[in-house]
Amino acid sequence: MKHLLGSVGRFGIIGLASFCATTVTNWANHQGYWNGTILRVQTTDFNILKHTLPTKLSLALIENNTEEVQRTLDSNYGLFGMVVTNCITLETNCPGQQMLYSTNSNREWKQQLTVEKLAEAPYSILRNPPPVVTETEMMSNRQSTWLTTGRINSGEIIGRVYYVRGISPEFWTEYPKWINRLPGSLLSDSGAQKYYSLALGLFGFAGLAAFIYIERIHKQKRIQKRQLLDQLEQSRLQGKEQLSQISCLIAEKEQFVEKLKADLQQESQASKQIIEYLENQLAQNHKDEALRKTYSVLQEENQKNQQTIETLQQQIQQSQNQQNNDLVNKLKQELEAIKRRNTIIEEQSQNYKHQVEDLQSETEQQTTFLKTQAEKLKQRERQANLKLQEAEQTINQLKAKECRDAEDIRLLEEQIATLRQEEELNDFLNEFERTIQKCLEGSRRYQARQWRLRSQFDVGQGRRSRQLTDFIVIGQSCVFIVEVKYYVGKILAEGDVRNTQWTCRTPAGRDLSVRGASRENPYMQVVGYTDSMMDRVQLSRAGGRIGVYGIIVFPEGADISYIQPEIGGYYRVTTLERLVQVIQDLELAFAERNRHRLSSLSVEQLNDLICGRPVRRQPPYFGNQEAS
């Protein structure tokens, strides 16, 4: 709906501009047709009549053929006048003459025809006998003075014939009638009206083409903005999807870390078990030492028993030699006992030896296995630690990426909100500009034609970049650059109001940057515009002093109490309800300060000077002529 209202507004402005341009062109066509073409045609007709008409009319009067005289005078269809009088003197002025015959016509020249007005018209003298040569003539149909030929007719003067020009219709009388007869009057080929139709068709087509072109540009901008919003929305959705995927990855990695920690705990438990086993083996090794010691004791005891056996055998031998049978028997018994004991000891020693060898072999095998398992556990622990570090690093990276993506999504959402708000602001700004235009056009000075209003005027000159103003109010010796800013809230400056950024704190608590075109702030923007306007209205061309002021206007809901309302002597910050009063106060103060040095240009002439046109008298004023 807003786009439709904007299109209707633009169509109305372009239509008004086309109509004004058509009216100005048709005024020029009207002047060119009646004061140019028709004037020259009548001059040509009068020159021809001066060569032919006196002879015929003189002859008809001599013969007293009044009907022929009247038919001859009516032969021009009443487009201009031919009047026969009874003047018989050669003097130019003939106050006592009377009109005898005249062309019949219902045109305005006939209604205004009097004897006194004949003094302004060219004439020819009628004679008896009829004149043969032409006494005055025009050398060109563009001349306005009749020249004498130097030839004089002879004979009695019997009267004069005057040539009265037709009166061209008033443009402001004829033009509204032509407009009221539209569209039927478009096919009229009468007089200048065919040029009216041509101009209307030309500017109507140009206006329609301009409207289509502008609407196409606006449509492309809307499409581009919509595409940008769609792309940003798609990017935001993709970012949210990536965030969801990253969250899933983080959860998976955290589960993996938990599993690694559990595996490490199991490996640690296994390591503890291996350590306990090794401790048991160490105890077993102590037992092995005990067996070895027992085996050594048995070996020593076996050796002692061998020595005892040898000693007993020697004693038995000696006893046999001495034939001591009792002692021999006793010794033999002891010897047998010792041998049995020695046999038992050898068996035990052999058994202990086998046990020690088996235990040693088993210990070596278990030690080798445990060393292999311990090495594997250490390697698995190192790998688990590496995986744990990699997983933690991946989690940190994913969390950092999640934060970055969340920030990107936040920025995208802010950008989308800003674009949508800018689109709404542009709609509000267009409506606000129309409100300001109605406010200015409704002021008394504008209604009294003491102000001229121009909108969307480019004050840039030469190779400067485009400097398109919102409104220019042209007054008596004053020009006001009005820059419109639609921001509702507290208008603040970060520091110095001249050199720092302006912001608007909305009722919702959001800070918006108050844009100043390509400048830092609106003050710098309007300073650039006023400087360019000063170059246009130089003192040498204006014939006196012209004041150029810059005004920044906010809507009624804006709080500008935090901004200086007067920035220097030539710049003001105000709201809509005080705009007209501020302009009037500045205009009055400038006039009082420069009472004897004001420019002598009128408002219309100052408008011509600003537009770069030659300062001249302008056609009637039709209001806010956007296209002029």
**Angle between helix 603-611 and helix 522-536 axes, rounded to 10 deg:** 100
* pLDDT interval class at 99 (50, 70, 90): very high
According to the model, what pLDDT value does residue 484 have?
Answer: 92
Here the tokens at position 234 are 């798609």
Top-confidence residue, 421 or 581: 581
Give SS3 for 186: helix
* pLDDT interval class at 550 (50, 70, 90): very high
Regarding beta strands 547-554 and 478-484, do their DSSP bridges make them parallel or antiparallel, or are they unpaired? parallel
Tell me the mean pLDDT in the region 548-566: 91
Domain boundaries, the chain: 2-180, 223-429, 444-611
According to the model, what pLDDT value does residue 626 have?
Answer: 36
The 10s digit of each residue's pLDDT in 259-270 is 877 777 777 777
Tell me the mean pLDDT in the region 180-188: 77
* pLDDT interval class at 282 (50, 70, 90): low
Tell me the mean pLDDT in the region 366-392: 78
The 10s digit of each residue's pLDDT in 243-263 is 788 778 777 777 877 887 777
598 φ, ψ to 5°?
A: -70, 155
According to the model, what pLDDT value does residue 619 have?
Answer: 47
According to the model, what pLDDT value does residue 523 have?
Answer: 92
d(CA 134, CA 129): 14
Percent of the chain whose predicted confidence (pLDDT) is above 90 = 22
416: CB partners within 8 A, 6+ apart: 229, 232, 233, 236
| Radius of gyration from C-alpha coordinates of the chain | 62
According to the model, what pLDDT value does residue 2 have?
Answer: 59
According to the model, what pLDDT value does residue 75 have?
Answer: 92
The 10s digit of each residue's pLDDT in 480-495 is 999 999 888 999 998 8
The b-or-e profile of 215-252 (16+ CB within 10 A means b, else e) is beeeeeeeeeeeeeeeebeeebeebeeebeebeeebee
* pLDDT interval class at 627 (50, 70, 90): very low
d(CA 594, CA 268): 99
Tell me the mean pLDDT in the region 581-606: 87
Here the tokens at position 353 are 């030896």
Most confident of 70-84, 215-229, 402-416: 70-84
According to the model, what pLDDT value does residue 618 have?
Answer: 46
According to the model, what pLDDT value does residue 284 have?
Answer: 66
The 10s digit of each residue's pLDDT in 390-416 is 877 888 887 787 788 778 777 776 777
Percent of the chain whose predicted confidence (pLDDT) is above 70 = 89
Right CATH for 223-429 from 3.40.1130, 3.30.70, 1.10.287, 1.20.1070: 1.10.287
d(CA 189, CA 392): 92
Top-confidence residue, 146 or 60: 60
d(CA 261, CA 389): 11
Here the tokens at position 527 are 């300073």
pLDDT of 67 strictly over 80: yes
Smallest CA-to-CA distance from 429 within 485, 468, 472 is with: 485
Smallest CA-to-CA distance from 233 within 3, 406, 417, 426 is with: 417
For 207: left if phi > 0, alpha if psi spans -120 to 50, otherwise beta; the answer is alpha
Alpha-carbon dihedral 67, 71, 73, 78, rounded to 10 degrees: 130
* H/E segment holding residue 549: strand 547-554
Here the tokens at position 277 are 């086993």
Query: Does 129 sit behind a cis peptide bond, omega within 30 degrees of 0 on the bond before it?
Result: yes
- Bridge partners of 512? 504
According to the model, what pLDDT value does residue 42 have?
Answer: 86
Top-confidence residue, 5 or 460: 460
Top-confidence residue, 431 or 275: 431
Top-confidence residue, 99 or 297: 99
The mean predicted confidence, pLDDT, of the chain is: 82
The 10s digit of each residue's pLDDT in 438-467 is 999 999 999 998 999 998 888 887 656 778
Output the DSSP codes for 428-497.
Answer: HHHHHHHHHHHHHHTSHHHHTTS-EEEES-B---TTPPP-B-SEEEE-SSEEEEEEE----SEEEESS-T
Smallest CA-to-CA distance from 608 within 619, 597, 598, 595 is with: 619
Tell me the mean pLDDT in the region 374-389: 78
* pLDDT interval class at 622 (50, 70, 90): very low
pLDDT of 628 strictly over 50: no
Give SS3 for 504: strand
According to the model, what pLDDT value does residue 418 have?
Answer: 67
According to the model, what pLDDT value does residue 625 have?
Answer: 38
The 10s digit of each residue's pLDDT in 321-359 is 666 667 677 777 877 887 787 788 777 777 877 777 777
d(CA 302, CA 340): 11
Q: How many residues does the chain have?
A: 628
